Amino acid sequence: MKETQIIKFSNILGQEKAKRIVRQALSKGRIPHAYLFSGIPGVGKTSLGRAIAAYLNCKNREQNEACGQCRTCNQIERNNHPDLTVIQSEGDSIKIKQVREIQESMRFAPFSGQFRVIIIDQADTMTEEAANAFLKTLEEPPPRNLLILNATEPDNLLPTIVSRCQRVAFVPLEANLIADYLLREIGIEEKTALVLARLSEGSLGKAIAMAQTDFLERREKWLQCAMNIPTLRPEQLIDVALELSNEKTPGGNATPKYEIGGLLDLLGVMAMWYRDLLLLRQAGPDYLVFNVDFLGQLKYFARKFKLLQLYESLLVLDQAQRDIRMRRNKALVLERTMLVLRQLASGV
């Protein structure tokens, strides 16, 4: 993996519309006080923020891009420039303490004499206190400061914050773009790259995080379990559920942003399995299948299920994901889910 970060617009994967909106504003010198970048994690929001910081501060800008060579560009590339700050949530939220630190830094002019760019990742996780404090900053921002708020769920932000930002929407990336990137930049073989790209649901960051863990091996185990559900006895299924609910996330939670390998991920894998079955049951095209490497098994099982059984199974998995997010008892949620899925698969 490369240690350096993307700092050129042209190196950001996809997101042509977002790039066009931002570059037009920059080239005309119409820089807003704040941007709100909305979209799922891992689609290039922070990279675009970094490219803006490089563009605004580069000493040898050429053809509407940062040069990528000067000291400023190098510092931004290594995440080590005094006028670029990337704020990440602490625990599961952005705290008021972090907002105060932003406010403190904005009392001074940018160090380089150019532009200060502050990126707040997962800004939609701000606590109420933090959001109220932040609103004051947005009301009277000092000149030559650009705030960039990244949010998966912009509706979770205060409307008064949203109305003071210029919104730019980021879309999920095409699977082919992600697969090409994994092949070209990380050296992942073609078939695996395509599986990861489909399973990432358009998030390059998630695809990379999955590639760096034992996600694919775990997924095989989980899919095997999904295939066994109709034939296992209830008590066997409860054992499986218990075992799965005790699994630890690999890498000591190194990738909490994408929940790789956790229980939510397992339920996500199961849900994709049923979505594939539903697609094939309705004679959908193979190229829309997520689990491309299990196409044979999927086709076998798709013939056996009735449509309603598949819809109901998806609803059960959706409910289970919500229950886990609400921090309900993991073992209970999983046991119930497995048993209901088995019941729904009766006759299969």
Residues that bind Zn ion (CB under 5 A): 58, 66-67, 70, 73
Least distance CB 54 / Zn ion (angstroms) = 7
Minimum gap (Å) between residue 71 Cβ and Zn ion? 8
Residue with Cβ nearer Zn ion (60 or 163): 60
C-beta separation of 345 from 309 below 8 A: yes
SS3 state of residue 123: helix
What minimum distance in Å lies between the beta carbon of 61 and Zn ion?
7
CB pairs under 8 A, 24+ apart, for 6-9?
6/47, 6/50, 6/51, 7/50, 7/51, 7/53, 7/54, 7/66, 7/68, 7/73, 7/76, 7/77, 8/51, 8/54, 8/65, 8/66, 8/68, 9/48, 9/51, 9/55, 9/64, 9/65
Closest to Zn ion by CB, 55 or 301: 55
CB closer to Zn ion, 58 vs 226 = 58
Query: Considering beta carbons, is residue 58 or 244 the nearer one to Zn ion?
Result: 58
146 φ/ψ angles, rounded to the nearest 5 degrees: -125, 120
Q: How far is the CB of 31 from Zn ion (least distance, A)?
A: 18
The span from the CA of 133 to the CA of 106, in Å, is 14
Closest separation in Å from C-beta 87 to Zn ion: 24
Taking the complex as a whole, the smallest distance from the CB of residue 78 to Zn ion amounts, in Å, to 13
Residue closer to Zn ion (CB basis): 62 or 190: 62
Q: Which residue has the tokens 């003071």?
A: 164
DSSP bridge partners of 85: 118
Whole-angstrom distance, CA of residue 259 vs CA of residue 205:
12
CB nearer Zn ion, residue 56 or residue 277: 56
Cβ(67)–Cβ(60) below 8 Å: yes
What is the C-alpha separation between 226 and 213, in angstroms, rounded?
A: 21
User: Residue 67 or residue 242: which is nearer to Zn ion going by CB?
Assistant: 67
Measured CA distances, 80 to 73, 74, 121, 172 (Å): 10, 8, 17, 29
User: Residue length, the chain?
Assistant: 348
CA 239/CA 237 separation, integer angstroms: 5
Please report how many Cα atoms fall inside a 13 Å half-sphere around the Cα of residue 201, on the Cβ side.
10
By beta-carbon proximity to Zn ion, the closer residue of 70 and 242 is 70
Contact (Cβ atoms closer than 8 angstroms) between residue 204 and residue 15:
no
CB of 195 to Zn ion, least distance (A): 38
Measured from the CB of residue 64, what is the shortest distance to Zn ion in angstroms?
Answer: 13
Residue (59 or 221) nearer to Zn ion, CB: 59
CB of 221 to Zn ion, least distance (A): 47
